[in-house]
Structure 1
Amino acid sequence: MTDGSGGARPALRRCVPLPAGEFAERNWDRAPLLSRRVDDYTDLLDLDDVDELLSRRALRTPFVRMAQQGKVIPASRYTGGAGPGAEVGDQVRDERVFELLAGGATLVLQGLHRLWPPLVDLAGGLGRELGVPVQINAYLTPPGNQGFATHYDTHAVFVLQVAGTKRWRVHPPVVTDPVERQPWGHRADEVAAVAAGEPTIDEVLAPGDTLYLPRGWLHAAGALDDWSLHLTVGLRAPTRLSVVEALLDLAAEEPALRAGLPMGTDLGDGSSIAPVLADTVKALHEWLDTLAPHDVADRWRRTTTSVARPAPMRPVAQAAALARLSAGDRVRLRPGLPVRISTPDPDRVSIEAPDRTATVPAVCTAAVRALLDGAPRRVGDLPGLDGDDRLVLARRLLTEAILILDD
């Protein structure tokens, strides 16, 4: 079974059985979708893996969270000092986790897309296919228990049932398309009122089943008569508000929009603010007319770098390979790294990543374009350069972590 890192099986196919186009048209950001027997997910994470993470991987908060009967359990109840040589006080204590699990608490392993290899690969593949940052958490609930009360998320999710069974109750949103600044806790009374009504979905998920929930849809889930383990794959897709936020960041660089207001202006008084508002809107329109789409795109790329990390690389192997790189070695663009080629002047070509830019002579243009198309390339086959220049270019882009070695 191929993982989500670019093999024969697309990562999206592991989450939903529909063709991508049909899913995009029918369900994406629109409607829930329950699918039966989609896949076996035990290769991604199983109960033995959970024990491995808890007992041997020295996890710390916030990678672990626990809850019971709708309330989050303080981390101090299941974490403590790590012992000699590790001066931290929030390492997970497996015996305390055991006590809480035995008492019916739900365990949440957070950020597994950053630390568990099969889920790193799945998140990377899904992120590249959908063009969105992806996060993955795991939820383990003892038989007959429920960790969290009815709530909604401000991002869409795929639920992948790994082991055991869990009953899901799904209700329509109380807020259409909520964003992060609109968490469910601010509308707890409305959520509770809707949750008291008839659910849109009331089904039991068994191993291999999946559930897609657009952001805002209310949901609660409880384990039945066995231990339930599921993965929640969060899709943090940008919205039109994301474009507005990128514009707001850029607006801070425009002097006309940073100008102070007349002395005595009362922003809480409609008559006082009216002329200021008119002038501000006029200045905003004039500034927006000067923007090019790539200005907004560049700002978005820079501000999302820490959210959507590229595929992992092997720092030691890559560092060791630099000195002995040969024409026979194969390199490729680091998967998941957004890059853009620009020509600041006729003599140079720049490779722009979100947090760095590598500029090389214009004679490298054909080779750069070949390297950045995503396919593995033999260094000795790079077009437009001789042998030594090919090695120099490959070393430069490996050093910038724009390229990685192709194993």
Structure 2
Amino acid sequence: MAELRDPGTAAGAGVLEKRLACRSREEFARDVWARTALLTRGASDFSDLFSADAVDELISRRGLRTPFLRVAKDGSTLPESSFTAPGGVGATISDQLDDTAVWRAFADGATLVLQALQRTWEPVADFSSGLSAELGHPVQANAYVTPPQSRGFDAHYDVHDVFIVQIEGTKRWLVHEPVHPDPLRDQPWTDHRSAVTEAAKGKAYIDTVLGPGDTLYLPRGWLHAARAQGEVSIHLTFGIHCWTRYALAEHLAQAALALLREDPRMRTSLPLGAEPPAGDIGFVRERLLDAVAEADPTPSFCRARRSQGRPAPLGPLAQLAAVDGLLPTSAVRLRGALEARLVGSRLTTRVGWLDLPRSDLRAVSRLLAGDVRTAGDLGLALAERLLRAGVLVPAGQ
């Protein structure tokens, strides 16, 4: 059977066109993606995603720990010990946020960086999941809360693409073209500190003030610095951790080496001596090229992609109730952001894999195609198995 995949993974939710760039996915891919910065005025009303009240709730009532918050001032990150404290009775941890210390740092001009909001704030989590599905790359969301006339970080570049979404207040952005285009994840801006500093002195590619509803897309490597204006600024950044051809090459090399492990000639010892003989180098090069031509990096690449994201939330109690009360009329659906694929008789997902009997393949194919509404559509035994595996969830969850 040919490979089938959850269509929701590819289709996405249209957030790119409707709320971020005001361009279709096709137009964005052709004209903007990984090529140039893009400023979009009045892209959307983002008050449903985040707010000042959300900042206060996360810091004062959610019991967050580091590294869910960073605090920065004048280009430097403050030590975690300066804004954390023990959790108190019943919480045997020492690094929960101390809201009083956070307030004092903020009042003194520090920027608050709430990290990984895709794990802690549901509206941002849902938005991030939709954007990731549409782009096909993992997405992380941070919030930057900056006091008036303050800046958090000097000019720098990121090793991931970003969408900047202004929520409240205004912030002036200076954007410069890259000094090191398309940096890999292990090529931070500090490797090019002097070039970044020098380039930031030149004329900006974009010099603008973002207001609520404005967005700014920056490919990785583009230099940027920002300063709040006359009021508190809150903006979100959606960091897109792009898969690259280099990453694909890494998986191809791994697949090729796995093939060479099974070649008895490659496992033989080299002759005695300090240097490998030229003949052996030539033989290994030839065999490696053959293995690269034969190797298929797709399985390991797909596994790595799945590991970089998380499936939609699953409530254990609702799941147990669904299993215990399962009827042919029970409404069910495929769990969101699962990256489900059926290859042959194996269903692979972000929560593991299942080998299926031939009799279940047609029903699972219908599930991946979105053609299943009730447990009876699948068959009760298969529906229960998929519920217990966390692949299927009750439709109301």
2:42 corresponds to:
37
Specify the code of the residue in structure 2 equivalent to 1:87.
Answer: T
1:134 corresponds to:
139
1:116 corresponds to:
121
Q: Quick check: 1:231 aligned with 2:236?
A: yes
Query: What are the superposed Cα offsets for residues 337-375 of structure 1, whole Å, 9 maximum, x if unpaired?
Result: 1222233xxxxx321225522122211221111112245
Q: Quick check: 1:328 aligned with 2:332?
A: no
5+ residue gaps, structure 1: 267-271, 344-348, 383-389
SS at 1:304's partner residue?
A: helix
Residues 124 and 141, structure 2, Cα contact 8 Å, conserved in 1: yes
Q: Partners in 2 of 1:361 and 1:7 — Cα distance? A: 29
1:367 corresponds to:
363
Q: Quick check: 1:377 aligned with 2:366?
A: no
Specify the code of the residue in structure 2 equivalent to 1:129.
Answer: E
How many pairs are equivalent?
384
Of the three residues 95, 101, 113, the one matched with 1:90 is: 95
Q: Partners in 2 of 1:186 and 1:262 — Cα distance? A: 41
1:269 corresponds to:
none
Q: Partners in 1 of 2:190 and 2:392 — Cα distance? A: 43
Moved more, 15-24 or 349-358: 349-358
2:61 corresponds to:
56
SS at 2:294's partner residue?
A: coil
| Matching of residues 385-404 of structure 1 within 5 Å | 390-404=379-393
- Distance verdict in 2 for CA 1:396–1:310, change over 3 Å: same
Q: Quick check: 1:184 aligned with 2:189?
A: yes
Structure having greater relative contact order (Cα 8 Å, sep ≥ 6): 2
Q: How far did residue 7 of structure 1 move?
A: 12
Task: Normalising by structure 2, report the TM-score.
Answer: 0.91
Residues 165 and 224, structure 1, Cα contact 8 Å, conserved in 2: yes
- Distance verdict in 2 for CA 1:262–1:52, change over 3 Å: farther
Specify the code of the residue in structure 2 equivalent to 1:392.
Answer: A
5+ residue gaps, structure 2: 1-7
Q: How far did residue 184 of structure 1 move?
A: 0.5
Residues 11 and 133, structure 2, Cα contact 8 Å, conserved in 1: no
SS at 2:162's partner residue?
A: strand
Task: Normalising by structure 1, report the TM-score.
Answer: 0.89
Specify the code of the residue in structure 1 equivalent to 2:117.
Answer: L
Specify the code of the residue in structure 2 equivalent to 1:391.
Answer: L
Q: Partners in 1 of 2:11 and 2:320 — Cα distance? A: 26
Sequence identity (%): 43
Residues 251 and 300, structure 2, Cα contact 8 Å, conserved in 1: yes
Q: Partners in 2 of 1:220 and 1:318 — Cα distance? A: 46
Q: Partners in 1 of 2:361 and 2:159 — Cα distance? A: 42
- Distance verdict in 2 for CA 1:158–1:375, change over 3 Å: farther
Q: Quick check: 1:357 aligned with 2:337?
A: no
1:337 corresponds to:
338
Specify the code of the residue in structure 2 equivalent to 1:396.
Answer: R
Q: Partners in 2 of 1:361 and 1:9 — Cα distance? A: 33
Q: Partners in 1 of 2:305 and 2:11 — Cα distance? A: 26
SS at 1:167's partner residue?
A: strand
1:172 corresponds to:
177
